[in-house]
Structure 1
């Protein structure tokens, strides 16, 4: 008889990874959570409906897309993907969460490393309406036997009808596993923190440090701010452990002979040998190994912490790309030219809004440098702008790096200044009719002063360029130009542009000569 051996030793011995986190994505929060908590978890799998996948989500390597068929509930497609995942790769624990919840990866890993997985259990926060179900908003932790029950009896979920996907999945887990939700398991509590309007309120709550999850997230900035907070909490905890171990080493060192001994490993001739010395060395080696492990962990966590405070608060620094596949492309500019990232032509004369933008940034940078020089009593004269770079980030705004050349008593000196033209306010819209959000668009352009006429005309010209470059696009775009308090001659110019666009491209444009304040 020939014995067929497994290809991998882990398969033959039944060794599994400790945890798999299943993230149900619906918005850009999926990308933010993947970039923050993904590197601290053994396995993070993203499940996103295909109609909600944009360019950023599509670039993620751990994405699993699904498409509901007919009248079928999206829950059925999700369970099918989970079945395929659990059939090939098995884990001790499974944590299911939406993308509107932040999970503390450090507390979650400590939780699953200290409890047994060999009995079916559903751990989470009890639902307010039905205490037998776990609330998906707080995340649901299932042991391996519980997940096997869910997969074996997932057909019971076919007849579930619910007003929301979250309630349907909560009911499905309860029906298929026949398990009641618990927030206490083997002397460990499952803590959650509920989000407030201000993150400062959440951070001041003591339980936030021990929470496994925080929900709901209001924006991408919340995900980044929470991750930075828990990184600092984890670093403080590890530093405290190192201090305790260092104190223990100091206390044990009092019992060890001073200086090196010869032969190696034996006490000096002046000290009679005993077994206590040997075990002291063993204990010191063990503590030193623990300190080395904690030091490596600190070094890995430090890579995630932005150098210094970031601006806007809670968002990562512009100089750190999320991964090697999403490295942003900066635009280089001088006082006369700008180099844009376009396939056919990338060098343009600096004019229009770009020229005004560069002039404002250079003026702001000069003001900062000269104010700092005045405080240091340095006499420097501005010579020119040597280099300039800018990058647009939809979360941060426009970031700039400018190199200003100054001449002083000590020769020529270059000052590199980082600036940000922040977005006034951003808001994440969860309840958006995603079927039409990209195909039926209305752009309202308010025009209140004569100085803005040139900018509006350039905007219309840029829109013409977009229409010419995407002839096969089926989007329906309306442009509404609302005007008040502008010179009549300028209004006629814009009106002529609107009429020309309507005739040449069939665009639907509305021109209003008054609008309410």
Structure 2
């Protein structure tokens, strides 16, 4: 009756009509793009083709070659299908062979609409039904190329699952937009070179083309070691790290996203070529992080080659992928502000605090108002990450430079930035607040309007 209502009230106002369950996620923009490529004046009945599960085969009243569109991922009707079918919907309601709505709708469309659900391999990708083993009422594995290519995703039985999926889709869109900005910076830098004009500073930094030759060390200490990895373990020669460890959740998610992007590039023209390549597993690989440019991977991938045109073939293949994931423009957000005076009081009362921390806070608290007005106010936030474990000399040099640049009056100006393999050092003008030592190797400096925070840590044994 819902289909009849759409026919009676909206047939002349819309070209396409969709029936879907309430636990399906629909990408509206992608659905519009897909439907605009089709002719709604033709009788088209779209969705994921179904024949019934194993227990129901032969019991749904389907003749050989007949099918239906599964109701979960959604059924889409062109205007012409509704125009042909709905006048006879009463007959369909009186001649039902099963209790499955989607089966009976497909039977009615086939009988009076003159068509049936499209036999197409692509429909299985566009209208995604979760077939995970022991599925729990939601799509558990989101780091999957199928999630990205699908138009509808089913099922997500609870609102929290829908929000989780929506959050992931939005994060993917953000990544795509940031990648697009990198491409534009590259194009701008290239056009500047071709026109013999000065390259914009931001284009020069973000428009660097991918290459494994960016890093050219002159000394042994400047060489960045590669880490060896498998599908489960990471083997490293880095200091203060076990030689073998399980892949962390962060690294595993990064690898999943990287592999997913690789598979999307490989399958970009899969429809015209009549083949699809699926990812199976990572046999082994190498990884390293260049602080100036990005993350580099060398991966040995086990893939499945599937040909769905002509003679169907499924063959396992192995391919090497040489990848570089460049850093884009950083964005930071300050979660909360700290009160410098209350922090100073807490530092004095804590017997475990270090003397240079207390002395620095005294200097800052007395000069806080003066340094805030020098050079005008700034809303910019700058984060500084400096490894500390076993690097006391580096930290001392950092503090000396920071004192000369930030703490001496009349020098509250931004000077320059220097990045090195072992440490990241920003010389900048700001007011600074020190907090107590925490047990992790990160320094974060947040500069905002009138307040700057530093969060720094020891190696866990009280040494820097």
Instruction: Return the TM-score normalized by structure 2.
Output: 0.36
